Structure 1
Amino acid sequence: MSTRFSFSLQATDGRARSGVISTPRGEIRTPAFMPVGTAATVKAMMPESVAATGADILLGNTYHLMLRPTAERIARLGGLHQFMNWQKPILTDSGGFQVMSLAELRKLTEEGVTFRSHVDGSKHKLTPERSMEIQKLLGSDIVMCFDECPALPADHTRIAESMRLSMRWAQRSRDAFGDRQGHALFGIQQGGDVEELRAESAEALKGIEFDGYAIGGLAVGEGQEIMFQVLDYAPGQLPVDKPRYLMGVGKPDDIVGAVKRGVDMMDCVLPSRSGRTGQAWTRRGQVNLKNARHADDPRPLDEQCTCPTCRHYSRAYLHHVYRAGEMISGMLLTWHNLHYFQELMQGMRDAIAAGRFDAWEEDFHATRDQGDIERL
C-alpha cells in the first residue's frame, strides 16, 4: 500500500485516459465514479454494499458535515472513515458550492462567506482556511480547495471576478493545507464557458501546484452542449500527469462524453437520488418503476445485470414496493443504479486499455437508443 498520493497514467485512447490513483487507503481505478455520501452515508446503502458495487472512493460533504454532526465531533470519534465505517479513500468537497446553493442569507466577501444554516438558522463563516481545517478534522484523503461557483449563464465580468477570487482562495487553501503526507489537495479550475478565462485559471492553479485538478463550474444549469464545448478544451489546459476531476457529473451519457474528452473522476447524487424516486438506470436507458406497465412484469430490470436487485427481484416487485412506500424500494434501486454506474466505468477502463473506446462508445449509444425492453 502506498504511503503517498500518486497518479499513474496507464493507457490512453484518443483523449480518453485510464490509470490508477494510489493513496494510503487504497487504489482508485480511473476513470472513476464517486458515489456521494453527503451526510456520512450513501443514502439507502450500507458501506459494504457500496464497496460491493465496485466503488473505490466516496465523496463526503463539508457543508453538511460541518453543520451536523460537526467536524469537531467527527474528529473526536476517530475521523470520517471510522465514523461511517468506510475504510477506502474519501474525497471531501470544500463546502463552497453548497453554501452558494443551499445556505440562507449568505454574504460573500474577499475573506470568505458568512451564512445561516439551512438546518437551524445558526450563523457560520466559511473561509479557505476554515474549509481546510474542517476537511483535516474529517480526515479525508482528497481535499478540495475552497472556491466560488457562479451559476451559468452569467456575464463575462461576473465569471471573471468570481474566477479570480477563486484563484486567490486557491492560494490561501494551499497555504492553509500545508504538507500532509498521504493526503492530497486538488485545485479547482473556474471560468464558466469562456475559454480564455479557463486558460487563465489553469495557469494560476499550475503556478500554485496541486496534487490534482478539478474542472468546476459546470453542470450548473448550462446544458450538455455547452458543457461538452468547455470539455473540448478545459482538460487539455490542465497537467497531463495529474488526475482531472469533473465535479457534479452526471448522467451516463454525460460521463461517457466527459471521459472521451480526458476526464478521470466524476461524482453525482443521481444514482442514489433516482433510486429513491423509483427510477433505474440501465444499459437501455432510464426505467420508471412507478409506471403501471411494470405491475405484472416478472422480468428483472436488466437481464444482463449481475447486481442483487436484478438477480433476485422482478420489475413487478420493484413497482409494488415503490408504490407501497416501502424502504426496500430505495435500497434495491440505489444498489442497482450504483452497480450500473460502476459497470459503466469498468467498461470504459477496459475499452481504453484495449484501444477500442470509439467502438465501445458507439455500442453504448446504440444500446441506449433502443429504449427499454418491450412491455409484456
Structure 2
Amino acid sequence: MSLSYQLLGSDGAARRGRITTAHGTIETPAFMPVGTAGTVKAMLPQSVAETGAQIVLGNTFHLMLRPGAERVAALGGLHKFMNWPGPILTDSGGFQVMSLKELRKLDPDGVTFRSPKDGSQHRLTPESSIEIQRLLDADITMSFDECTSWPVEEPEAAFSMRLSMKWAARGRKAFTERPGYGLFGIVQGSTFPALREESAKALIDIGFDGYAVGGLAVGEGQELMFSTLDYTVPMLPADRPRYLMGVGRPGDIVGAVKRGIDMFDCVMPTRSGRTAQAFTRRGELNMRNARHRDDPRPIDEHCACPACKHHSRAYLHHLIRADEILGAMLLTWHNLQYYQDVMRGLRGAIESRTLDDWIASFERDQALGDIPPISNGA
C-alpha cells in the first residue's frame, strides 16, 4: 500500500484526518516546518519535534545541488542524514526553477538551468525529479511542475498548466510504488476557474495519493486566494489529503482549513524568527522595537516554548540588538511552537464541531493587538 489518509471528522468543509506514511503518522490539519537543505534553520531536529511538528519539508532543487541526492542516499537517506525519523515531504524543485528566471531554459521535456551557487549546469525533468526524491527517501514525493508566475494572463496560465499536466503523467509513470510512500499531483491554473477545473480533472484521471494546490500565495492576495480555493478544493477527491503549497500566515492557514485544506508549509515562521519577528495570539511583534527593552513579560504567557518559559521580552530584545545567534534560535522556536499550537487548536475545534467559534475567537484576538507593558510609574 502507498500512504493512506483517514478522515476522522469534519466541521463544514474543514477536515480532521490522519495520514499514515512509512515513517509515521501525521495528524491533520498539519503545518510542515521547512527544512529546505536538510535542516530547519536555527533548530535542532529534536527541538522541531518538541513543538509538535510530525513532518518536515525538504527541497529537491537545493539538495540535488548540495550535497547531492546520491550522496544522501549513500549515507542512509534524508531521514538518517538529518536525524529526522518522522515523515518527510520533498518539494519537486519546480518553484525554485521558476524563480531562477535568467538562469533557466524551459522546453517541453524539462528545464535546464545554471546553479545559483557555482554556475554549473543542471537539468530537471519529471522523471529525474522523481528519481532524486526517491534517492532522498521522501515519504511524500511531489510532481515536477511549471509553477505559474503572477500576474499572468489566461493564455500563459493555460500553457503552463497543460505543460505541468503532461509532466505529472510522466512523473506518475516514473514513480515506484512502495508501502507507506506516496506521490502528490499539483493543481495549477492560477486564478482562472476553468483552468483549475481542467487541471484537477487531469490529475484525478492520472491518479495520485494526494493533491496539492499550487500557484497561490505568489502575490494575488488573500481574498483571491480564498476565492480560488472555494471552487478548487471541492473538485478534489475527499479520500485523499489536500495540500496548499507555500502558505503562509496564520490567518491564511485558518481560512484555508475552513475551506478543506489539510496540509501547509511556509518559510515564514523560521524566516521571521531570524528577522526579529514573533507571531502571537495578538498578532506579530517586532522584537527589535525599543518598547520591549525593559519589558519583563514573556512574548506570550500562554506559550510553552523555551523563549516564553525562560526568557523575558527584554532579554530577547537584547539578543536581537546584539546580533546574538541565540535570539534567532529562540524566536524561531517560538514561532514554530505558535504555528503548531494553531494547528492543534484547529484540530480540536473540528473534532468538537466548534470551528466557527474558534475562528471568531482567533480573529478577535488577532485584531486586539499586543497589550503594552504596565509603566513603572503607573
Is this contact kept in 1: 2:2–2:177, CA < 8 A?
no
Q: Deviations over 1:285-327 (max 9, x none)?
A: 0010010000000100001111111000000000000010000
Which of 133, 136, 143 is residue 135 of structure 1 equivalent to?
Answer: 133
Partner of 1:333: 331
Partner of 1:240: 238
Q: Deviations over 1:67-115 (max 9, x none)?
A: 0111111111110000000000000010011011136520000000000
Partner of 1:80: 78
Partner of 1:349: 347
Is this contact kept in 2: 1:33–1:266, CA < 8 A?
yes
Is this contact kept in 1: 2:187–2:212, CA < 8 A?
yes
Partner of 2:34: 36
Partner of 1:204: 202
Which of 259, 278, 281 is residue 280 of structure 1 equivalent to?
Answer: 278
Q: Deviations over 1:207-227 (max 9, x none)?
A: 000000000000111111110
Residues 11 and 302 of structure 1, relative CA distance in 2, 3 Å threshold: same
Partner of 2:54: 56
Task: State the secondary structure of the residue aligned to 1:12.
Answer: strand
Q: What is the CA–CA distance in structure 1 between the aligned matches of 2:321 and 2:38, rounded to whole Å?
A: 28
Partner amino acid for 2:113? F
Q: What is the CA–CA distance in structure 1 between the aligned matches of 2:366 and 2:327, rounded to whole Å?
A: 24
Report the Cα offset of residue 374 of structure 1: 1.5
Task: State the secondary structure of the residue aligned to 1:146.
Answer: coil
Task: State the secondary structure of the residue aligned to 1:372.
Answer: coil
Q: Deviations over 1:171-192 (max 9, x none)?
A: 0000011322321000000010
Task: State the secondary structure of the residue aligned to 2:34.
Answer: strand
Is this contact kept in 2: 1:104–1:118, CA < 8 A?
no
**Are positions 1:167 and 2:165 aligned together?**
yes
Report the Cα offset of residue 233 of structure 1: 1.1
Q: What is the CA–CA distance in structure 1 between the aligned matches of 2:102 and 2:38, rounded to whole Å?
A: 22
Partner amino acid for 1:184? G
Report the Cα offset of residue 24 of structure 1: 2.0
Partner of 1:372: 370
Give structure 1 regions of 4+ aligned residues with deviation exceeding 3 angstroms: none
The alignment's TM-score, normalised by the length of structure 1, stands at 0.98
Map residues 1-376 of structure 1 onto 2, 5 A cutoff: 4-102=2-100, 104-376=102-374
Task: State the secondary structure of the residue aligned to 2:25.
Answer: strand
Q: Deviations over 1:149-184 (max 9, x none)?
A: 121220010000100000000000000113223210
Count of matched residue pairs: 374
Partner amino acid for 2:162? R
Is this contact kept in 2: 1:104–1:117, CA < 8 A?
no
Q: Deviations over 1:31-89 (max 9, x none)?
A: 00000001100000000000000001000011100001111111111100000000000
Q: Which 5+ residue runs of structure 1 have no aligned equivalent? A: none
Partner amino acid for 1:42? V
Partner amino acid for 2:46? E
CA RMSD between the two structures: 0.9
Is this contact kept in 1: 2:148–2:189, CA < 8 A?
no
Partner amino acid for 1:328? L
Is this contact kept in 1: 2:21–2:139, CA < 8 A?
yes
The alignment's TM-score, normalised by the length of structure 2, stands at 0.98
Q: Which 5+ residue runs of structure 2 have no aligned equivalent? A: none
